[in-house]
Structure 1
Amino acid sequence: MSEPALPPYRRSEVRAETEAALAARRELGPEYDEHIAAGLAERVEQLAAYRSVELQHSSARERAELELAQTTQRQGFVLGIISLGVGIPITAISANLAEPHLLGIAVSWAGIVGVNVAHRLGTRRGRLAGGSDPRR
């Protein structure tokens, strides 16, 4: 089994503490083995508790990032549906009011596309500032 992922400074501390305990055992003799083992066991329990909390925080952060990604995708989907629903009557109205008709249609759809692009760029900018990528 591989060594748990501890920060480098933690690994050196653990190694130093273990070596100090072994040196103490050599100096004090076998009659102090129980005390030395108890001290090492306490340190191992502390490291296990530290790692457990670290994993819980990591898991909570990943869940929050996933939830944010799902919300962003849902918002984009809803905006697309609303854009299509609103785009049809706006197209009809702008085609009837503008001369030439194609100009009214182009302007109305350019506005709809502009809103969707602005939304997409805003969510991308928010993702980059937050450091997460919901597309993964």
Structure 2
Amino acid sequence: MSTSSSSGPWPLLLLAWLVALLSSLSALFIGEVMGQAPCVLCWFQRTFMFPLAVILAIACYRSDFAIWRYALPLAGIGAALAFAHTLLYAGLIPQPIQPCTATGPSCSGAGMTIFGGVPLPMLALFAFVLIAILLLVIRRRTAP
């Protein structure tokens, strides 16, 4: 299978890396430039997104389409955390089990939005799910 084909896995791998890179840089921009401190769940999500940006970059450089074996668990766990954070933001998780109420920034406060009201947890969920879908398509296209 040719790696230069637009229907091959290479553009998908590049897109997965670009999503992870943009998500990581956006998280750093929001925290460091805009001065918005991340909540506990945001920190946990970052622990899964930042390594994705690194390992997907290496996979792009090496044209390693088997990266889905290592990146898909990171994207899946990150998506689960972002989904829980989205439920928390929407008020669907009961107050006693909310992780961010004791100290630090609120996981569901008004500061968890960008672009005039788009919730950050939903953006993170979208990014993790998109990366996971791209990795699954890469897996299907490169399976023997």
**TM-score bracket, shorter-length normalisation:** 0.3 to 0.5
Higher gyration radius (CA): 1
- Give the structure with the larger helix fraction: 1
Higher relative contact order (CA 8 A, sep 6+): 2
TM-score, reference length from structure 2: 0.32
Q: TM-score, normalised by structure 1?
A: 0.34
